[in-house]
Amino acid sequence: MAEFDWPWQYNFPPFFTLQPNLATREKQLEAWRHLILEYHRAHKMHTLDITEAQNSPLFYNKSLKRKLSVETIFVVLEDLRKRGHLEWLDKQHQRCYVYWRTLEEWGKLIYKWASKNGMVNTVCTLYELTNGDDTRDEEFHGLEMDVLKKALQALENEGRAELIFFDENEGVKFF
Amino acid sequence: MDRFEWCDGSFQSSEKLLFKIQSGVKLYDGDNVTNFVNGGLTLTNYRILWQSEVSSREYISLQLQLVVFIEKESSGWGRSGKIVVHLIEPSSRKGQTNKGPVQHSPFSFVKFTFKNGGEIDFYTQLNSAIEKREWEQKLLLGKSERKLRTGIVGIERQIQEKQKETDKSISAAFKDLSKLMDMAKDMVSLSKTIAQKIQDQKGEISEDETIRFKSYLLSLGVSDPVTKDTHGTGDDYHKELAKELANLMEKPIEEAGGIMPLSDIYCRVNRARGLELLSPEDLVNACKVMEILKLPVKLHIFDSGVMVLKLSSQDDSILAQSASVLVEEKESLTSDELSRILGTSVVLAKERLLSAEKSGFICRDDSVEGLRFYKNRFLKEMS
């Protein structure tokens, strides 16, 4: 894993206690939002599992011996969800997608790539988009299939792409 | 009937059996039938014993000394013979009322009926026993024996004796206490006159020690405490009390950093008042009217419910700010550490930190090591 540049808050013990003062809490949650998204972006991770998260360095600063409690993790994640950066995968709220870019942003990014590379009006497979050689330098390289589909659906709603199914393969056509 | 007693059927020393009928004896309370039907009757030189046929352990006895005289009631056709035993009034035998099967009876006589005969022999034996009056000798004997007696009665007596003694010593102790109270009043007036004298002689004797002694005396207590006797029980009392408290506590509160918990106030005030102690309730009520009276100190209740008296001139935000400055100096503080720095109680230190947190100066770190406060870098470094 690449060395992650932790923000100063990560080494500030009160960061791991939910602040009762509302103004302070607002700033604290803002820092958490930022940290979680940056962390996932840096590690190209798209899902988060609550049980695992409690011991991941993200929520557990071992050198400081401070850990964000599960209740507080939920508060932070709920805050992310409200801003469209997170989506629960199950009703029990055990796993979730972390969108370090919102679906719209992903869609735009993919469309930008497609138009730059002359892929408009052609069909590419979804596998090509996430794992193809052409997209190796793009941020959406390695994007999870479900997230990709959701992003493309968002594009579809805007009328700039169409999802196509052929031979058990899935593809997309950009307009 | 109320002169009968339960007993165990065993004979006392020097008690002799005179006559015995095995069965068929029924007991009447006056003219009424009792539950004591079908029993054996035993006559001794002291008592008449009746024993139930059903349970051989059930005995009741009648002391012969209670018998005035006896008479035969003729046994008619088909009726069993009866003997009427006339008894003396129960008032002459107080203290034994609880030991018998019947507590009260309107009759002063009992009847025995003899279904299986034997009444004539019983009558003559009983008459001679009453005439001999052997129980009188027994009473004389009993008196000398009494102290040696053991068993439940003996133990009971010992307990009674002990109780009497403790009663005595308790009342003696309270006598001492009331004496002490009187003495204390004298002491107070004495100290007052001494203080007065010293005050008068101030010009003549100006040694440091006397002045110190005077100051001790003057700080000894409240010379004229506000009491319910002097100021009634209503609002006036609390107002006067509030004034007295403010007067008394302003300096100590100032010395303690402008704030003092009510529990401390309570102790100090009552120590100063000496005899006229204040109830916690009166203290709180008096403190509540302080603000209305615009006194130099006033009551403040923290969010946690902790009550304190503080100087009216002192501002909350200044307190919070001073706490946050200390936190910044030390980087982080617990309420315990702050209390040591400020020399206040932990409770007050915590309240200060909480109010500083409320104002956004500091933020908390709640871990297994306890609640610790840090400078609020969230608000200060991000914006």
Express each pLDDT in A41-98 by its tens digit. 888 888 888 888 888 888 998 888 888 888 999 999 999 888 888 888 888 888 888 8
End-to-end CA separation in angstroms for chain B: 102
Per-residue pLDDT, B237? 84
In angstroms, the separation between the Cα of residue B207 and the nearest Cα of chain A is 59
Taking CB atoms and an 8 Å cutoff, what residues of chain A touch B332? 13
Taking CB atoms and an 8 Å cutoff, what residues of chain A touch B377? 8-9, 12, 14
Tell me, yes or no, if the two domains A8-98 and A103-174 fold the same way. yes
Q: 3-class SS at B232?
A: coil
Sheet containing strand A86-88, edge to edge, reads A47-49, A95-98, A86-88
* Residues B80-91: tens digit of each pLDDT: 788 888 888 765
**H helices within B29-150, ranges in order?**
119-132, 135-145
Interior angle at CA B101, CA B55 and CA B132, nearest 5: 90
ipTM metric: 0.74
- With both helix axes pointing from N to C terminus, report the angle between B235-255 and B262-273 in degrees, rounded to the nearest 10: 110
| Among B367, B372, B378, beta carbon nearest to A28 | B378
Q: Quick one: fold of A103-174?
A: Arc Repressor Mutant, subunit A (1.10.10)
Q: Which residues of chain B have pLDDT under 50?
A: 145, 205, 383
Per-residue pLDDT, B373? 92
Q: Which residues pair with B73 in a beta bridge?
A: B82
Is there a contact between B366 and A8 if contact means CB atoms under 8 Å apart?
Answer: no
Q: How far is A106 from B105, CA to CA, in rounded Å? A: 108
Stated as kind and residue range, the H or E segment containing A171 is: strand A169-174
Per-residue pLDDT, B105? 79
Most confidently predicted of A26-35, A107-116, B200-209:
A26-35
Q: How far is B351 from B310, CA to CA, in rounded Å? A: 13
Stated as kind and residue range, the H or E segment containing A49 is: strand A47-49
Is there a contact between B381 and A8 if contact means CB atoms under 8 Å apart?
Answer: yes
In angstroms, the separation between the Cα of residue A80 and the nearest Cα of chain B is 18
Per-residue pLDDT, A1? 46
Instruction: Supply the mean pLDDT for chain A.
Output: 83
φ, ψ of residue A63 in degrees (nearest 5):
-70, -30
Per-residue pLDDT, B198? 67
Q: How far is B281 from B287, CA to CA, in rounded Å? A: 10
DSSP per residue over B154-207, as a string?
HHHHHHHHHHHHHHHHHHHHHHHHHHHHHHHHHHHHHHHHHHHHHHHGGGT---
Q: How far is A103 from A150, CA to CA, in rounded Å? A: 7
Per-residue pLDDT, A29? 92
Is there a contact between A16 and B381 if contact means CB atoms under 8 Å apart?
Answer: no
Q: Give Cα separations from B204 to A39, A74, B108, B195 (angstroms).
A: 85, 80, 91, 15
In angstroms, the separation between the Cα of residue B366 and the nearest Cα of chain A is 6
Identify the closest residue of chain B to A27 by CA–CA distance.
B378
Classify domain B5-148 by CATH number: 2.30.29.30
CATH architecture of the domain with residue range A8-98: Orthogonal Bundle (1.10)
Stated as kind and residue range, the H or E segment containing B228 is: helix B228-231
Per-residue pLDDT, B212? 60
Is there a contact between A16 and B383 if contact means CB atoms under 8 Å apart?
Answer: no
| Among A13, A27, A28, beta carbon nearest to B367 | A13
Q: How far is B195 from B197, CA to CA, in rounded Å? A: 5
Domains of chain A by residue range: 8-98, 103-174
Residue ranges, comma separated, of all CATH 2.30.29.30 domains in chain B are 5-148
Is there a contact between A24 and B367 if contact means CB atoms under 8 Å apart?
Answer: no
Residue ranges, comma separated, of all CATH 1.10.10.10 domains in chain B are 233-382
Place of tokens 């006194």: B295
Taking CB atoms and an 8 Å cutoff, what residues of chain A touch B358? 21
Q: How far is B250 from B242, CA to CA, in rounded Å? A: 12
Stated as kind and residue range, the H or E segment containing B265 is: helix B262-273
Is there a contact between B360 and A23 if contact means CB atoms under 8 Å apart?
Answer: yes
Classify domain B233-382 by CATH number: 1.10.10.10
Per-residue pLDDT, B119? 82
